[in-house]
Protein backbone atom coordinates (compact mmCIF):
# COMPACT_ATOMS: atom_id res chain seq x y z
CA UNK A 1 0.00 0.00 0.00
CA UNK A 2 1.18 3.54 -0.71
CA UNK A 3 1.99 5.67 2.31
CA UNK A 4 -0.35 8.47 1.27
CA UNK A 5 -3.26 6.03 0.89
CA UNK A 6 -2.51 4.54 4.31
CA UNK A 7 -2.51 8.00 5.89
CA UNK A 8 -5.66 8.94 4.00
CA UNK A 9 -7.43 5.86 5.35
CA UNK A 10 -6.63 7.18 8.82
CA UNK A 11 -8.23 10.56 8.01
CA UNK A 12 -4.90 12.36 8.31
CA UNK A 13 -5.89 14.71 5.49
CA UNK A 14 -6.38 15.07 1.78
CA UNK A 15 -3.79 13.71 -0.67
CA UNK A 16 -2.47 17.27 -1.11
CA UNK A 17 -2.28 17.85 2.66
CA UNK A 18 -0.57 14.51 3.26
CA UNK A 19 2.07 15.38 0.66
CA UNK A 20 2.81 18.56 2.62
CA UNK A 21 2.85 16.71 5.96
CA UNK A 22 5.39 14.20 4.65
CA UNK A 23 7.49 17.03 3.19
CA UNK A 24 7.55 18.61 6.65
CA UNK A 25 8.85 15.41 8.24
CA UNK A 26 5.74 14.57 10.29
CA UNK A 27 5.61 10.92 9.23
CA UNK A 28 8.07 8.08 9.86
CA UNK A 29 8.41 4.49 8.67
CA UNK A 30 10.07 2.07 11.07
CA UNK A 31 11.73 4.96 12.88
CA UNK A 32 13.02 6.75 9.80
CA UNK A 33 11.47 10.00 8.58
CA UNK A 34 9.50 9.42 5.40
CA UNK A 35 10.50 11.56 2.43
CA UNK A 36 8.05 10.50 -0.28
CA UNK A 37 4.25 10.23 0.09
CA UNK A 38 4.00 7.64 -2.68
CA UNK A 39 6.51 5.20 -1.16
CA UNK A 40 5.14 1.68 -0.76
CA UNK A 41 4.82 0.21 2.72
CA UNK A 42 3.78 -3.11 4.22
CA UNK A 43 0.75 -2.06 6.22
CA UNK A 44 0.82 -5.34 8.18
CA UNK A 45 4.42 -5.21 9.39
CA UNK A 46 5.85 -1.68 9.01
CA UNK A 47 5.46 0.76 11.91
CA UNK A 48 3.97 3.97 10.59
CA UNK A 49 3.96 7.03 12.84
CA UNK A 50 2.38 10.43 12.33
CA UNK A 51 3.37 13.21 14.74
CA UNK A 52 4.91 10.50 16.91
CA UNK A 53 1.73 8.40 17.14
CA UNK A 54 1.76 4.84 15.82
CA UNK A 55 -1.01 4.18 13.30
CA UNK A 56 -2.30 0.61 13.17
CA UNK A 57 -3.73 -0.91 10.02
CA UNK A 58 -7.20 -2.41 10.08
CA UNK A 59 -8.53 -4.29 7.10
CA UNK A 60 -12.09 -3.54 8.23
CA UNK A 61 -13.67 -0.89 10.41
CA UNK A 62 -16.29 -1.34 13.11
CA UNK A 63 -18.31 1.39 14.86
CA UNK A 64 -21.04 1.19 17.48
CA UNK A 65 -23.61 3.95 17.01
CA UNK A 66 -26.45 4.92 19.30
CA UNK A 67 -28.86 5.75 16.50
CA UNK A 68 -31.23 8.54 17.51
CA UNK A 69 -34.78 8.98 16.32
CA UNK A 70 -35.15 11.04 13.16
CA UNK A 71 -32.11 9.50 11.45
CA UNK A 72 -32.39 6.93 8.67
CA UNK A 73 -30.36 3.72 8.55
CA UNK A 74 -28.99 4.36 5.09
CA UNK A 75 -25.77 5.46 3.44
CA UNK A 76 -27.42 8.23 1.40
CA UNK A 77 -30.78 9.98 1.53
CA UNK A 78 -32.08 13.03 -0.26
CA UNK A 79 -34.13 14.39 2.63
CA UNK A 80 -33.10 12.97 5.99
CA UNK A 81 -29.92 12.75 8.02
CA UNK A 82 -28.30 9.34 7.59
CA UNK A 83 -26.34 7.26 10.08
CA UNK A 84 -23.20 7.90 8.00
CA UNK A 85 -23.74 11.65 8.40
CA UNK A 86 -23.28 11.13 12.14
CA UNK A 87 -19.79 9.70 11.47
CA UNK A 88 -18.68 12.71 9.48
CA UNK A 89 -15.31 12.81 11.27
CA UNK A 90 -14.45 9.27 10.16
CA UNK A 91 -13.48 7.67 6.87
CA UNK A 92 -16.93 6.26 6.06
CA UNK A 93 -16.03 4.96 2.59
CA UNK A 94 -17.45 1.43 2.31
CA UNK A 95 -19.28 1.50 5.65
CA UNK A 96 -22.82 0.14 5.83
CA UNK A 97 -25.31 -0.29 8.67
CA UNK A 98 -25.67 -3.87 9.84
CA UNK A 99 -29.44 -4.15 9.62
CA UNK A 100 -31.80 -1.23 9.80
CA UNK A 101 -33.73 0.64 12.44
CA UNK A 102 -36.85 2.60 11.51
CA UNK A 103 -36.51 6.38 11.47
CA UNK A 104 -38.46 6.64 14.75
CA UNK A 105 -36.57 3.77 16.40
CA UNK A 106 -33.38 4.35 18.38
CA UNK A 107 -30.62 2.22 19.81
CA UNK A 108 -27.72 0.00 18.83
CA UNK A 109 -26.52 0.06 15.25
CA UNK A 110 -23.29 -1.49 14.01
CA UNK A 111 -21.61 0.19 11.05
CA UNK A 112 -18.88 -1.72 9.25
CA UNK A 113 -17.32 -2.57 5.91
CA UNK A 114 -16.97 -6.23 6.92
CA UNK A 115 -19.57 -7.86 4.67
CA UNK A 116 -19.02 -11.33 6.09
CA UNK A 117 -19.84 -10.15 9.61
CA UNK A 118 -22.95 -8.32 8.38
CA UNK A 119 -24.19 -11.51 6.70
CA UNK A 120 -23.46 -13.60 9.77
CA UNK A 121 -25.34 -11.26 12.12
CA UNK A 122 -28.36 -10.77 9.86
CA UNK A 123 -28.95 -14.28 8.53
CA UNK A 124 -32.07 -15.82 10.15
CA UNK A 125 -30.34 -19.20 9.86
CA UNK A 126 -27.72 -18.03 12.37
CA UNK A 127 -30.39 -17.29 15.02
CA UNK A 128 -28.58 -14.19 16.31
CA UNK A 129 -30.56 -12.67 19.19
CA UNK A 130 -31.69 -9.06 18.76
CA UNK A 131 -33.08 -7.58 21.98
CA UNK A 132 -35.48 -4.64 21.85
CA UNK A 133 -36.87 -2.50 24.65
CA UNK A 134 -40.54 -2.01 23.76
CA UNK A 135 -42.95 0.41 25.45
CA UNK A 136 -46.55 -0.61 24.84
CA UNK A 137 -49.95 1.03 24.80
CA UNK A 138 -51.53 -1.79 26.83
CA UNK A 139 -50.38 -4.45 29.23
CA UNK A 140 -49.37 -7.50 27.23
CA UNK A 141 -51.64 -10.51 27.74
CA UNK A 142 -50.63 -14.11 28.28
CA UNK A 143 -52.34 -14.94 24.98
CA UNK A 144 -50.23 -12.37 23.16
CA UNK A 145 -47.04 -13.67 24.74
CA UNK A 146 -47.98 -17.20 23.69
CA UNK A 147 -48.61 -16.08 20.10
CA UNK A 148 -45.30 -14.21 19.92
CA UNK A 149 -43.31 -17.11 21.32
CA UNK A 150 -44.87 -19.57 18.88
CA UNK A 151 -44.59 -17.35 15.79
CA UNK A 152 -47.20 -14.88 14.63
CA UNK A 153 -48.74 -13.89 11.29
CA UNK A 154 -47.73 -10.31 10.43
CA UNK A 155 -49.05 -10.42 6.88
CA UNK A 156 -46.04 -11.80 5.04
CA UNK A 157 -46.47 -14.67 2.59
CA UNK A 158 -44.14 -17.47 1.52
CA UNK A 159 -43.47 -18.36 -2.13
CA UNK A 160 -46.66 -20.42 -2.22
CA UNK A 161 -48.79 -17.59 -0.89
CA UNK A 162 -49.16 -19.10 2.57
CA UNK A 163 -48.80 -17.03 5.76
CA UNK A 164 -45.12 -16.74 6.72
CA UNK A 165 -45.08 -16.72 10.50
CA UNK A 166 -42.32 -14.99 12.38
CA UNK A 167 -39.71 -17.17 14.03
CA UNK A 168 -40.42 -17.93 17.70
CA UNK A 169 -39.58 -14.93 19.89
CA UNK A 170 -39.05 -14.45 23.61
CA UNK A 171 -40.87 -11.94 25.79
CA UNK A 172 -39.67 -10.59 29.13
CA UNK A 173 -41.83 -8.22 31.17
CA UNK A 174 -39.86 -5.23 32.50
CA UNK A 175 -42.44 -3.27 34.50
CA UNK A 176 -43.53 0.21 33.48
CA UNK A 177 -41.94 3.41 32.20
CA UNK A 178 -42.20 6.88 33.77
CA UNK A 179 -45.62 7.36 32.20
CA UNK A 180 -46.90 4.07 33.54
CA UNK A 181 -46.82 2.33 30.16
CA UNK A 182 -45.85 -1.36 30.17
CA UNK A 183 -42.34 -2.23 29.05
CA UNK A 184 -41.12 -5.53 27.67
CA UNK A 185 -37.96 -6.90 26.16
CA UNK A 186 -38.64 -8.68 22.88
CA UNK A 187 -35.94 -11.04 21.59
CA UNK A 188 -36.16 -11.94 17.90
CA UNK A 189 -33.85 -13.48 15.28
CA UNK A 190 -35.07 -11.77 12.11
CA UNK A 191 -35.13 -8.31 10.62
CA UNK A 192 -38.30 -8.00 8.57
CA UNK A 193 -39.76 -4.64 7.61
CA UNK A 194 -41.18 -2.91 10.73
CA UNK A 195 -41.11 -6.36 12.34
CA UNK A 196 -41.41 -5.52 16.03
CA UNK A 197 -44.23 -3.02 15.47
CA UNK A 198 -46.10 -5.45 13.21
CA UNK A 199 -45.68 -8.31 15.69
CA UNK A 200 -47.19 -6.32 18.53
CA UNK A 201 -49.93 -4.97 16.27
CA UNK A 202 -50.80 -8.54 15.27
CA UNK A 203 -50.95 -9.37 18.97
CA UNK A 204 -53.52 -6.60 19.54
CA UNK A 205 -51.19 -3.96 20.95
CA UNK A 206 -49.28 -0.87 19.84
CA UNK A 207 -45.61 0.08 20.15
CA UNK A 208 -45.12 3.56 21.60
CA UNK A 209 -41.34 3.53 21.89
CA UNK A 210 -38.72 1.16 20.49
CA UNK A 211 -35.02 0.84 21.25
CA UNK A 212 -32.58 -1.88 20.21
CA UNK A 213 -30.37 -2.91 23.10
CA UNK A 214 -28.20 -5.63 21.61
CA UNK A 215 -27.37 -7.75 18.60
CA UNK A 216 -25.71 -11.06 19.41
CA UNK A 217 -22.86 -10.41 21.85
CA UNK A 218 -22.78 -6.69 21.03
CA UNK A 219 -24.57 -4.56 23.63
CA UNK A 220 -25.33 -0.85 23.43
CA UNK A 221 -22.81 1.09 25.50
CA UNK A 222 -24.65 2.81 28.37
CA UNK A 223 -22.22 5.73 28.21
CA UNK A 224 -23.27 6.66 24.66
CA UNK A 225 -25.95 9.28 24.13
CA UNK A 226 -28.22 9.30 21.06
CA UNK A 227 -26.14 10.30 18.05
CA UNK A 228 -22.81 9.32 19.64
CA UNK A 229 -20.58 6.49 18.46
CA UNK A 230 -17.25 4.80 19.12
CA UNK A 231 -15.07 2.09 17.57
CA UNK A 232 -15.66 -1.43 18.85
CA UNK A 233 -13.25 -2.60 21.53
CA UNK A 234 -10.88 -5.51 21.01
CA UNK A 235 -13.01 -7.59 23.37
CA UNK A 236 -16.21 -6.80 21.46
CA UNK A 237 -14.52 -7.80 18.21
CA UNK A 238 -13.32 -11.02 19.80
CA UNK A 239 -16.83 -11.86 21.05
CA UNK A 240 -18.15 -11.24 17.53
CA UNK A 241 -15.61 -13.69 16.17
CA UNK A 242 -13.68 -11.03 14.28
CA UNK A 243 -10.00 -11.66 13.61
CA UNK A 244 -8.53 -8.30 12.64
CA UNK A 245 -5.41 -9.88 11.21
Could you tell me the residue ranges of all domains in the chain?
Answer: 3-55, 59-124+220-245, 129-215
102 is catalytic: yes
- Among 3.10.290.10, 3.40.50.2020, 3.30.450.40, 2.40.30.10, name the CATH number for the domain at 3-55: 3.10.290.10
> What's the CATH class of domain 129-215?
alpha beta
> What's the CATH class of domain 59-124+220-245?
alpha beta
Report residue 245's pLDDT band, with 50, 70 and 90 as the boundaries. very low
Task: Please tell me the predicted confidence (pLDDT) of residue 244.
Answer: 56
Task: Concatenate the DSSP letters of all residues of the chain into one string.
Answer: -BHHHHHHHTT---HHHHHHHHHTT-EEETTEE---TT-B--TTTS-EEETTEEE---SS-EEEEEEPTT-BSSS--SSS-BTTGGGTTS--TT-EESS---TT-EEEEEEES-HHHHHHHH-GGG---EEEEEEESSPPPHHHHHHHHH----S-B-TTS-B-PPPP-EEEEEEE-TTS-EEEEEEES---TTHHHHHHHHTT--EEEEEEEEETTEE--TTPPTT-EEEPPHHHHHHTT----
Round to whole Å and give the CA distance between 171 and 188. 9
pLDDT-wise least confident of 74-78, 86-90, 106-110? 86-90
3-55 and 59-124+220-245 agree in CATH topology: no
Does position 14 have pLDDT exceeding 90, yes or no?
Answer: no
Segment 38-51, tens digit of pLDDT: 999 988 788 999 99
Q: Which of 102, 113, 153, 177 is catalytic?
A: 102
Q: 43 vs 232, which has greater pLDDT?
A: 232
Segment 90-130, tens digit of pLDDT: 777 789 999 999 999 999 999 999 999 999 999 878 889 99
Amino acid sequence: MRLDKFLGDHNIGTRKQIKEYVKNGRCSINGSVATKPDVHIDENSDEICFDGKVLSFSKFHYYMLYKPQGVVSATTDGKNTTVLDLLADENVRGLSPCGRLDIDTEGLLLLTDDGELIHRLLSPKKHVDKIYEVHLRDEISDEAISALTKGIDIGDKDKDGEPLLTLPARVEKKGSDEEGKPVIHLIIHEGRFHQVKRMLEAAGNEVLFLKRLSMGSLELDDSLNPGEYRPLTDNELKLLGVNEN
